[in-house]
């Protein structure tokens, strides 16, 4: 296909929940192809039992070409495995090697907590400290502040491609070049961007990256994540090794000598969850014939439309997502003191957003399946809630998001 049509993109490829779904930046809607792939693998398990491994053995590696397209990498530089946190630990164990004055790690105070926890643990293990770049407005990150924090004591910096609360998109090539100019390694967390916009990790020269696949990749709750390791680092042995990272040709020789797979596949550890990989396998089919540039163009069109509607009809809600296309990811974040109550009230009316403490309502128009009319209806309902105060009567205790 040449690109998603302006109104009905690839919507028919998804089994959408009832109502209006605007939380695909937390958990993507289910593609029919994901269900079909899981059922196919279940049938193989039923009919073939252990013989199914003849096909499943290289399943993760078979997904690398498609993942490479999504993150702008060579197939040898990516692998579907683990979770963001597990993968980040494996990569930090390998890449964070304090030497001399370069002893410290760097991140931002706006990072998703799991990244901070992992960084803290390795700083403690290896005698460094984790420094956090402050935000000028508690929502976004200024590149000058990154530059100021990249002192000669920094060994490695980890940044998100898109900040999860505000939706700010960072400049990967620019900040990667800056880190390298300052003598630091740099890794990226692409959880809130993979599947929503093009990437170029190889050409940018990023040292490594991690991501999940249950947001814009639509591979299901707890789906396997993935990682990228630039080919210039493929001579490094993973610090955390497991038998599934062994070279496939000799894996079942069961020798005590570790023989790493080529490239990023060496970072696999335990036996992969085949049924979960199957959902990712099926979900990736949605992207096979869609140009990421078209996805990005429609995403920007939808978020432009949403921001315009909020500006016109909901002046009480403050848009904290950057309006500049070059700095905007795939979702729109709105600040309001009653954001939690508004989120809960929307859900009661069949509109699914999410909430991030203390005061952010996030709306994610996903290019592959969200309609402009759904954004208009969401804004209409928000206006009604604010006018009537009905959201203040909603019980928000126990709400996850």
- Shared domain for 99 and 237, answered yes or no, is yes
What CATH number corresponds to the domain at position 232?
3.40.640.10
What is the span of the domain harbouring residue 295?
A: 11-30+290-393
Residue 348 lies in a domain: yes
Radius of gyration of the chain (CA): 22
Is 295 within 8 Å of 1 (Cβ atoms)?
no
Residue 397: what pLDDT? 78
- Shared domain for 120 and 142, answered yes or no, is yes
- Shared domain for 276 and 357, answered yes or no, is no
Is 381 within 8 Å of 390 (Cβ atoms)?
no
> How do beta strands 354-356 and 318-319 pair?
unpaired
Backbone angles phi, psi at 280, to 5 degrees: -65, -40
> How do beta strands 130-133 and 104-108 pair?
parallel
Residue 154: what pLDDT? 98
Residue 396: what pLDDT? 86
- Shared domain for 323 and 283, answered yes or no, is no
Give the domain-ending residue among 237, 254, 287: 287
- Shared domain for 249 and 352, answered yes or no, is no
What distance in Å separates the CA atoms of residue 22 and residue 28, rounded to the nearest whole number?
Answer: 9
Distances (CA, A) of 117 to 98, 124, 154, 302: 18, 11, 18, 34
What distance in Å separates the CA atoms of residue 232 and residue 293, rounded to the nearest whole number?
Answer: 27
Residue 400: what pLDDT? 62
What distance in Å separates the CA atoms of residue 234 and residue 261, rounded to the nearest whole number?
Answer: 10
Residue 196 lies in a domain: yes
E strands within 134-200? Answer: 154-160, 185-189
pTM metric for this prediction: 0.96
Active site positions, annotated: 112, 189, 214-215, 362
- Shared domain for 257 and 328, answered yes or no, is no
What distance in Å separates the CA atoms of residue 316 and residue 297, rounded to the nearest whole number?
Answer: 28
Residue 29: what pLDDT? 98
Q: Which two tokens stand for residue 60?
A: 């993760």
- Shared domain for 72 and 91, answered yes or no, is yes
| Residue 99 DSSP one-character state | B
- Shared domain for 71 and 24, answered yes or no, is no
- Shared domain for 179 and 294, answered yes or no, is no
Q: pLDDT tens per residue, the chain (401 residues)?
A: 344 444 546 899 999 999 999 999 999 999 999 999 999 999 999 999 999 999 999 999 999 999 999 999 999 999 999 999 999 999 999 999 999 999 999 999 999 999 999 999 999 999 999 999 999 999 999 999 999 999 999 999 999 999 999 999 999 999 999 999 999 999 999 999 999 999 999 999 999 999 999 999 999 999 999 999 999 999 999 999 999 999 999 999 999 999 999 999 999 999 999 999 999 999 999 999 899 999 999 999 999 999 999 999 999 999 999 999 999 999 999 999 999 999 999 999 999 999 999 999 999 999 999 999 999 999 999 999 999 999 999 988 766 66
């Amino acid at each position: 296909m040449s690109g998603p049509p302006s109104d009905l993109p690839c919507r028919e490829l998804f089994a959408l929940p009832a109502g209006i779904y605007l939380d695909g930046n937390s958990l993507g809607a289910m593609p029919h192809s994901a269900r079909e792939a899981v059922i196919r693998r279940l049938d193989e398990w039923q009919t073939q039992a252990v013989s199914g491994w003849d096909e499943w053995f290289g399943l993760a590696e078979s997904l690398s070409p498609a993942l490479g397209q999504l993150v702008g990498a060579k197939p040898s530089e990516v692998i579907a495995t683990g979770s963001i946190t597990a993968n980040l630990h494996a990569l930090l164990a390998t890449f964070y090697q304090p030497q001399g004055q370069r002893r410290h790690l760097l991140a931002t105070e706006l990072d998703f907590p799991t990244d901070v926890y992992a960084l803290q643990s390795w700083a403690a293990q290896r005698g460094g400290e984790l420094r956090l770049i402050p935000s000028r407005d508690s929502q976004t990150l200024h590149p000058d502040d990154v530059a100021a924090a990249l002192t000669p004591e920094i060994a490695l910096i980890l940044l998100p491609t898109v900040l999860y609360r505000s939706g700010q998109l960072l400049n990967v090539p620019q900040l990667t070049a800056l880190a390298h100019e300052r003598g630091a390694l740099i890794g990226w967390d692409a959880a809130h961007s993979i599947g929503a916009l093009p990437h170029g990790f190889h050409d940018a020269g990023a040292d490594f990256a991690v991501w999940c696949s249950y947001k814009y990749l639509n591979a299901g709750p707890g789906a396997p994540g993935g990682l990228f390791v630039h080919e210039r680092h493929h001579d490094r042995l993973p610090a955390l090794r497991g038998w599934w990272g062994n070279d496939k040709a000799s894996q079942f020789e069961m020798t005590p000598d570790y023989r790493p797979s080529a490239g990023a596949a060496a970072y696999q550890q335990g036996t992969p969850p085949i049924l979960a990989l199957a959902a990712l396998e099926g979900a990736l089919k949605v992207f096979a014939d869609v140009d990421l540039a078209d996805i990005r163009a429609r995403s920007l069109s939808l978020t432009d439309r949403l921001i315009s509607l909020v500006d016109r009809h909901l002046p009480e809600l403050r848009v904290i997502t950057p309006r500049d296309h070059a700095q905007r990811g795939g979702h729109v974040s709105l600040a309001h003191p009653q954001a939690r109550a508004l989120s809960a009230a929307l859900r009661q009316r069949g509109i699914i957003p999410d909430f991030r403490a203390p005061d952010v309502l996030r709306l994610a128009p996903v290019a592959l399946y969200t309609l402009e009319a759904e954004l208009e209806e969401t804004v209409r309902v928000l206006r009604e809630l604010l006018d009537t105060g009905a959201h203040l009567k909603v019980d928000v205790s126990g709400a996850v998001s």
